Structure 1
């Protein structure tokens, strides 16, 4: 069955894995430049939390993890120092929103994972494999095409930004190949964003065609002399780097983790922490939900109160003098 609507999700409560890093970047670029009255950026915070809230509403999971990339290099940088080297630095406005996103997720009672040395994809791949081994149906919430390699009979992708779900048939329909061939497909086309070298001039259609004909990247490489034209020349010139490209795009499923799917249970939200955070970042409708019967008026009051800062030190006073001088 090819699922293309979030309404056709599995009946049992699935294990939810959220690709937090993917949604953080997508929300930052998709949302308007929102700020609170302090001038703090809030667009990415709102976008990420809004998507997570929707997942909770749609699936009401008992087990869930929101996974983010850790700072610093990963094993892929050891394999290929140029990995992601062409990416521009993270905008300051985005970097400033990472910790608030983490704080709100924790306050919502959701397990948050940041594992050094690997990427969020690898943590998700490992947990999805473990969950499948225990018979748990898993939904990975992401906008990253690389995650298609993880899809199987127990693992499905959902993209809340496009309102689509991709199972095995959905992946085949989208890419022209089944999930088992996605790694080879990605190695052939490369990835300019992550600076993964592929075969020049080989795009999705050519990669899918070759895989349909030869069955695997290794077989394509063995039959490289049979492929004519400029793409054939480019393939033969790329033979030495293709195994490396395949390593770089392969999501690990064997990361040594201190948690398991069974231990990643959803907890009760911390209402006071959410009140403080939603008040500070001025998310009035969410704050009203936390306040419950106290309603919109108290939410507005809490937001208003969050705008004040008690100045107790000379340093704090000097900071405000400078801000007022620029006003």
Structure 2
């Protein structure tokens, strides 16, 4: 007798789950969320403590089959060179946090988790590339970060887990949750930043186009490129500034967009996670 298609004995192997950790983003979040803690010799360890707490807790609850961590590697030259004011508003990393990054990286290595860094690129671009590759390999991908910029990567196979307050109040963003919060699709969030601005990356946006207007325009036209093709259909109060600042808007979108196409050699067997060492 032939077995039913729904026969549990014929069920497929459990789908693999890739857990991607934004090392820099999570370190910053932990540093500012956890009260200052020092060793007996005066070494700050609050970011380390928060990072370890979050990662261990989530490894236990999320039960990934594969794990990888990405860190920044130098100045993001591919964005800085064309746009000299990129990140001009960003302040230097606090010294107490910089002192803890090597310890955080030691912790990651002790877990047996591979670290990815690409010279001239931020951790975001590594995460974006790893997420795309993981989804293409058929894995469900969960990104852990304190940076909402990564929400633009959300797709049917990619979700983002981020903190709301502290290091324990967290929310998972899927496509539905991104839509609920921003009333836009994930793929439109870089367009939103290009139009409305983002001071953290020195993206000034288009004068006269605030967040509310930007969302309205994107809801009607989809992407920035489509909006710019239909300027004649807009009222003068929006058409004029968009016409005058057209090139800047396109540049701003480039800055706001996370790369997903870095030359990154990935061997998923090396990312396989065998559990927390004891």
Task: Name the TM tier (shorter chain).
Answer: 0.7 to 0.9
Whether the 8 Å CA contact 2:179–2:186 is kept in 1: the answer is yes
1:79 match: secondary structure: coil
- The answer for the alignment partner of 2:32 in structure 1 is 29
- The answer for the alignment partner of 1:62 in structure 2 is 65
| Deviation of the 1:82 alpha carbon | 1.3
| Deviation of the 1:223 alpha carbon | 3.2
| Deviation of the 1:106 alpha carbon | 0.7
- The answer for the alignment partner of 2:148 in structure 1 is 145
Aligned counterpart for 2:53 among listed residues 39, 50, 53? 50
- The answer for the alignment partner of 2:263 in structure 1 is 256
| Deviation of the 1:79 alpha carbon | 2.0
1:163 match: secondary structure: strand
User: Is 1:124 aligned with 2:98?
Assistant: no
Greater helix proportion: 1
Across the aligned residues of Structure 1 and Structure 2, the Cα RMSD in angstroms comes to 2.0
- The answer for the alignment partner of 1:223 in structure 2 is 230
- The answer for the alignment partner of 1:246 in structure 2 is 253
- The answer for the alignment partner of 2:22 in structure 1 is 19
Tell me the distance in 1 between the aligned counterparts of 2:121 and 2:155.
Answer: 22
- Gaps in structure 2 of 5+ consecutive residues: 1-13
- The answer for the alignment partner of 2:220 in structure 1 is 213
| Deviation of the 1:228 alpha carbon | 3.8
Once the two structures are superposed, residues 186-241 of structure 1 have per-residue CA deviations (whole angstroms, 9 ceiling, x without a partner) of 21122211112311343332211101112221232233354446555433332121
Greater Rg by CA: 1
- The answer for the alignment partner of 1:86 in structure 2 is 89
Whether the 8 Å CA contact 1:146–1:186 is kept in 2: the answer is no
Whether the 8 Å CA contact 1:33–1:41 is kept in 2: the answer is yes
Tell me the distance in 2 between the aligned counterparts of 1:75 and 1:201.
Answer: 29
Tell me the distance in 2 between the aligned counterparts of 1:74 and 1:53.
Answer: 33
| Deviation of the 1:19 alpha carbon | 0.9
- Gaps in structure 1 of 5+ consecutive residues: 1-10, 271-289, 291-327
Tell me the distance in 2 between the aligned counterparts of 1:200 and 1:260.
Answer: 46
- The answer for the alignment partner of 1:176 in structure 2 is 183
Whether the 8 Å CA contact 1:189–1:204 is kept in 2: the answer is yes
Aligned counterpart for 2:209 among listed residues 202, 210, 235? 202
